[in-house]
Structure 1
Amino acid sequence: MRDAWSPLLSYAHLSGLLARCGRAGDLRLGAALHAVVAKNPAHFHLSPTRADLCHVLAAWNSLVAMYARCGRRPDAARVFDEMRVRDSVSWNSLLAASSVSAPDALELLRRMLREAPGAGACDAATLTTVLSACARADGGGGAGAAPLAAVHGLAVSCGLDAEVPVGNALVTAYFQCGSPGSAERVFRAMGEKNVITWTAMVSGMARAERYRESLSLFRRMRRVVDANSATYSSSLLACAGSLAAREGQQIHGLVAKAGFETDLHVESGLMDVYSKCGLMEDALRVFRSCRNPDEVFLTVILGGFAQNGLEDKAFELFAEMVSAGIVIDANMVSAVLGAFGASAPVALGKQIHALVIKKCFIGNTYVCNGLINMYSKCGELEESVEVFDGMPSKNTVSWNSIIAAFARHGHGSEVFRLFESMKADGIKPTDVTFLSLLHGCSHVGSAKKGLEILNSMSSQYGIHPRVEHYACVVDMLGRSGLLDDAKAFIEDGPFKDNPLLWQALMGACSFHKNSEVGKYAAEKLLILAPDCTAAYVLLSNIHSSEGRWDDRARIMKRMRELGLRKDTGKSWIELQKEVRSFVISTSHRNSAGANDALLQLSAVSSDQEDLVESNAL
């Protein structure tokens, strides 16, 4: 029934139009409809005695929701405060506007409980909105755990914890607040579970790096409910984290069977699994099959090539994308810059730098960080400094990158000067910062200072050293020739069963030709990592340096029996504006011509030497 105040617009029509304005973000039309309400106070008066109260209240709720969806929280709050009658939809509409801020959402919840304690205003939608706000505000740091527990208690007292949406929100929120145990308890207590529940668990366990449990949940889930694309993406994240290539391939088959093979998130997850497991041909096959790759998708494949030491493939693909006219964004540039290693051609890096300037990415902090790393790895320290000095803003990664650049080039004193500047700039050092500091100590030969830095990590900065930090100290002691001290440092430390430390000690023993400690380290390493190629190579080098050829032959035979082989070294050369990679081999089609050219150059060189000698006589 149309209201007498307008022959054309009913309360229902007004509510529908406001809902459309909210979805479309059309604030102008929404404000005009608000003006209609303001000009007709009698028709929109909220009174508990009105027979058509539900229709009038729906219009007011739509007005609050419209402002909330348009991001105008103050306007939504103003309309809400004008309402003399409210229901759960009213409160939830305003909560939706406040949900970006956990304090605002919690304060509004407290106000709701004060003003409408017995009106049933708090429902499942209320709690899910507040729980989402708590989770977003926490960001994994644990700060949202206390308010989250309080909201959980409210859900139990209201009897809403049995509601599936509330249970799903609790599981998700506990994971995001870094409490996987609490999430698991909520999950087990839920009488009814849907695909969202299972997906929240699979995803949460994967993001908590409990990969095997995530995959186990995925297998259990498939027995009771059909997975969706988000579930498959989460299970692939678990496969990538645990380097489970076989499980990833099986999930690939399930994805194809379920019809999710063209989902960008699933395809990106498949590429991530294959890349991390070293199956780059499979990753590239997924990439080629994608119809509309986005910037995240392209960044994954570029990063995959870089992680697997296939820098030339990353460069080729990036050049192909540029030539094909694909829109290049800052993330893609950062990914290809990350592919640069010490042997990559700096000329190509400078071309990418020119592209960065052309695309106006030079103000992007992440791109500049990539340029700093690229130039330092290519031996152009001055260029790294120039990029760093020209950055309009610097973050922790920026400082870590320039400190690492000087450490990489052996400028230990400059490393410590930059570290002091970093702290003076208000940037807190991270564990990555200390890796560079320890590298700097290695280059200046200051073992004592390095040990002081390692101890200061936890005592002064609250950072627990990782195995990489201990490996740096072993390298530092080894460079100083303190091999027995390095051995004792490993055996007395928390990572004595980590092969990385024994490998670092073996390298130092090979350099100093200390066969006694070297053999001890080799035996430890081969027990911990029997398929470690580097262990066999380093041990064979020790035997070679001592002239023990029979022992060396025995080691090499053992390698062949295990199917191990030393990684082939690769080099790059830029020829006629094209970068070519090559290895030591005679398989190239121009090998014969190259050999002829070498013979001719040798003959010319020999003739010139004879001429010089005759002139000298």
Structure 2
Amino acid sequence: METKAAHLANLLQTCIDHKAHLAGKLIHSQILRNGFFADIFLSNRLVELYSKCGSLGSARKAFDKMPKRNIYSWNAIVGAYCKVGSLEDAYDLFVEMPERTVVSWNTVIGALAKNGHEGRAVDLYKTMIWEGFKPTHFTFASVLSAYGSLGDVRRGRICHGLVVKVGLDSNLYVGNAIVGMYVKNGSVRDAVRGFGELSEPNEVSFTTIIDVLEQTDQVRDALNMFSKMHRNGIRIDAVAFSSIVGVCARGNFGELGSSDECQRVSSYGFGLQAHGLATKLGVETDLHFCNSLLDMYVKHGKMDLAEIVFANLPEVSVVSWNILIAGYGQEGQGEKALELLQWMYLQGFEPDEVTFVGMLGASIKCGDIETARRMFDKISAPSVSSWNAMLSGYSQKGNDGVAIVLFRKMQFQCVRPDQNTIPVILNSCAGMRLLKCGKQVHAASIRESLHRDVFVASGLVDMYSKCGDLHKAKLIFDRIPERDIVCWNSMISGLTFHSHNWDAIALFKQMLEKGMGPTQFTYASIVSSCATLGALSLGRQIHAHMVKSGYTNEVYVGTALIDLYSKCGNADEAQQFFDGMNVKNVVSWNEMIHGSAQNGRGDKAVEFFEEMIRSGVKPDGITFTVVLTACSHSGLVDEGMRIFKSMEQQHMVQPMAEHYTCIIDTLGRAGRFDEAEMLIDNMPYQDEPILWEVLLSACRVHANVNLGRRAAEQLFRLDPHNPSPYVLLSNIYAALERWDDASAVRKLMSGRGVVKHPAYSWTEYKDGVQAFMVDEDLTWIESSSH
């Protein structure tokens, strides 16, 4: 009988090893038929068999019908419930156990730790210690994993200390758990130290430490660790290869490698070597590795190699498509990305949200805001990064109103903004000068505790500055604990923009005293302040500072210097600097043309305009405004008319009100009123006061009373409280000795409560600028200085 029972036990073990459920049931029937069910060993094997085959119900029936049970019976049924995740039933059985072994405790603690019940696992571990059971390497591995998931590094360290105390720190299984616990808690230094204490690290050890080094941007160390893994003969599987090419995908970090390596390679070069090694070891067929490899080539912009990897994938997934689509988006090839999306549909793949996010980024980078919006609208629940991308796209395109509406929609959908959202939307508020809206965004930043972020604070300073609330901007600026250059630039440019030029210069000096290095935007703002003030001496000092800092080759800085020297009457010096500029854009040319016009060099301004056309730089509306102004001030009437007519015919620039103003001023100064009147009668800007003001001024010079009266009447209608037309019309009558008409205009002006304000002039002296103001009757003069 014993021989037969032993034979049945051997057969059961074979069934357990091969998970032969049907054969096991036949043996079960033989056990019952031969009356062996009372044999505890055979009954335990039956519970184990059904557990291995996933038949929990049969395992429980076998357990319940056992006439006698021992500790192995209980461990087997508890293990069966743990295996299928029925943790409550497993725990209830564990509590019912008449006696427990370390195996019993380890089984339940391990199951709880693996299935998201880390807190209960730790509590059970403490009870185990209290009841006098000695933990094993399985216990510590589970508990350390639980502490890692709970983020409890303090208790994790205590457990680590106990591991050392009981002498299990040399166990590889426990050692890997220690490293993993520190990794999950972000204690990189402790994780690396724990790895270094492993006597014989395996592929799990190396893969774990490579991942944590990659996550903390320690790329050089990660690559060296992989090299060490290979040199030590550790088996490198697909997971390890995926990790290392993920490291190589981080970007081109230049020369990498340790000092003892003969060959030093870039991260991309290392990735190529890893690809070759993976092919040699037969890992290149693993889909996860292939997708990681595809991502590496994409991140380095090697789209030709990425296409080859994609074409040879053993199995294409949606992830593979997403990586390739995002890659072409990263390269700014939006059309190629859209073509791939269409091909993806044709191949029977359904795009997911990652696909649309990739297409969104591609479209934004290409400036295709319409396609980007279509992709955005297909995302069921956009993440904050998707909202940010869309908001940034609209802001960059100048569609600030749409950006603000979209931001409100984002709030209605309860998507919380982050430190990247707020600066973008503040920029849109600043662009539209919407102070009220900007204040609401400020309130939202305070609600989300983002207002202390340096980028958000800079955005607030910029918004309040551009919207004219300089007091609020300065308050925020002063409260920023660690200002970066963006903060300083925002405050300085705001002061410059609102003509608080001396305050801007004072802040610039304070910035230098703080040891903050100016950028091209700082210099451009401060030189603009000097130009507005006519402070040539101070401007020269700033110029010298720029030369020392190496910023004179920046196009915006150069343009500001041209403006400075031109406004201060140094046209030759402005041209000398302009001629030495390495890069000239349309703004530079415009400033040089404008500077020539300011200094009475109309012919030179026209020459610069013609040279600009020959250089291939396309003129814009501002170009025509400044060159037509130059023609007007220099009496170049025919040149002005020729350039005005060329706007639409040759350069496809639609004339605006300011262009008509310039050409009417040109004709008026020359006394060609018939042409001027004909132009006014046919232009689409009849209600622009500046046009009539220019015409009226010319009529005063040439005593054209009839056309002057028409211009004045138009101005009385359009801007009844502007004193200029009253004064100019009165002066026309006075020049013709029509005193009654002149008096009537003065009475009309007085009756309407129109007041003429005094003008002022200024001149620079050694310590600043002196301003002179004079009233209408020249009865007194007041001077002030800064």
TM range (shorter): 0.7 to 0.9
Match of 2:241 in 1: 57
C-alpha deviations, 1:192-245, integer Å up to 9, x for none? 223233333333333333333322222222222222232222222222222212
Q: Is contact 2:394–2:400 with CA below 8 Å preserved after alignment? A: yes
Deviations for 1:262-288, whole angstroms, at most 9, x for unmatched residues?
223323332333333333233333322
1:15 and 1:58 in contact (8 A); partners too: no
Question: In the TM superposition, what is the alpha-carbon distance from 1:384 to its structure 2 partner?
Answer: 1.4
| Alpha-carbon shift at residue 371 of structure 1 (Å) | 1.6
Matched letter for residue 198 of structure 1: W
Which ranges of structure 1 fall in alignment gaps of 5 or more residues? 45-52, 138-143, 596-617
Task: Indicate the SS of the match to 1:339.
Answer: helix
Post-superposition shift, 1:126?
Answer: 0.8
For residues 338 and 555 of structure 2, the distance between their equivalents in structure 1, rounded to whole angstroms, comes to 38
8 A Cα contact 2:631 2:640, kept in partner: yes
2:483 aligns to what SS in structure 1?
coil
1:76 to 2:276 alignment: no
Given the alignment, which residue of 347, 355, 376 partners 1:187? Answer: 376
Counterpart-to-counterpart distance in 1, 2:426 and 2:318? 41
The 1:193–1:378 alpha-carbon spacing in structure 2 relative to 1, beyond 3 Å, is same
Deviation at 1:375, TM superposition (A): 0.9
Kindly report the root-mean-square deviation, in angstroms, between the aligned alpha carbons of the 2 structures.
4.1
Seen in structure 2, the aligned counterparts of structure 1 residues 319 and 24 have a Cα distance that, compared at 3 Å, is same
**Residues 65-214 of structure 1 correspond to what in structure 2 (within 5 A)?**
65=249, 72-77=267-272, 79-80=274-275, 83-84=278-279, 85=284, 86-88=286-288, 90-99=290-299, 101=301, 104-105=302-303, 107-108=304-305, 110-116=307-313, 118-120=315-317, 122-123=319-320, 125-126=322-323, 129-130=326-327, 132-134=329-331, 137=332, 144-154=333-343, 156=345, 159=349, 161-163=351-353, 165-214=354-403
* Partner in structure 2 of residue 346 of structure 1: 536
2:413 pairs with one of 211, 224, 232? 224
Local SS of the residue matching 1:296: helix
Please say which of residues 331-340 and 400-409 is displaced more in the overlay.
400-409
Greater RCO, CA 8 A, separation 6+ = 1
| Aligned counterpart, 1:606 | none
Choose from 476, 488, 495 the match for 1:286.
476
> Is residue 759–residue 774 contact of structure 2 (8 Å, CA) maintained in 1?
no
Matches within 5 A, 1:522-561: 535-546=722-733, 548-552=742-746, 554-555=748-749, 558=752
Shift of the 368–522 alpha-carbon distance from structure 1 to 2, 3 Å rule, reads same
Report if aligned partners of 2:605, 2:630 keep a CA contact under 8 Å in 1.
yes
Aligned pairs (5 A) from 1:445-484: 445-461=635-651, 463=653, 468-484=658-674
> Contact 1:372–1:384 (CA<8 Å) still a contact in 2?
yes
Contact 1:11 1:59 in 2 (8 A): no
Q: Quote the residue 2:460 is aligned against.
A: 270
Is the aligned partner of 1:235 residue 2:432? no
What is the correspondence of 1:482-493 to structure 2 with a 5 Å cutoff? 482-490=672-680, 492-493=682-683
- Residue 295 of structure 1 corresponds to 485
Q: Which amino acid counterpart does residue 383 of structure 2 have in structure 1?
A: N
The CA distance in 1 between the partners of 2:294 and 2:743, in whole Å, is 80
Number of residue pairs aligned between Structure 1 and Structure 2:
561
| Contact 1:475 1:505 survives alignment (8 Å) | yes
CA distance in 2, matches of 1:316, 1:323: 11
Query: Aligned to 2:629, what secondary structure does the other structure show?
Result: helix
* Deviation (angstroms), 1:549: 4.3
| Contact 2:242 2:293 (C-alpha < 8 Å) held by counterparts | no
Larger displacement relative to structure 2 (327-336 or 550-559): 550-559
CA distance in 1, matches of 2:698, 2:289: 70
How far apart are residue 374 of structure 1 and its match?
0.8
Which whole-Å CA distance do the structure 2 matches of 1:411 and 1:113 have between them? 63
Distance 1:15 1:202, change over 3 A: same
1:362-382, Cα deviation, whole Å (9 max, x unpaired): 444443332221111111112
Is the partner of 1:206 in helix, strand or coil?
helix
Give the deviation of 1:252 after TM superposition: 2.3
Report the AA paired with residue 191 of structure 1.
Answer: S
Contact 1:69–1:97 (CA under 8 A) maintained in structure 2: no
Q: Secondary structure at the match of 2:768?
A: strand
Q: TM-score, normalised by structure 1?
A: 0.76
Contact 1:572-1:581 at 8 Å conserved across structures: yes
| Structure of greater Rg | 2
Contact persistence 1:92–1:125 (CA under 8 A): no
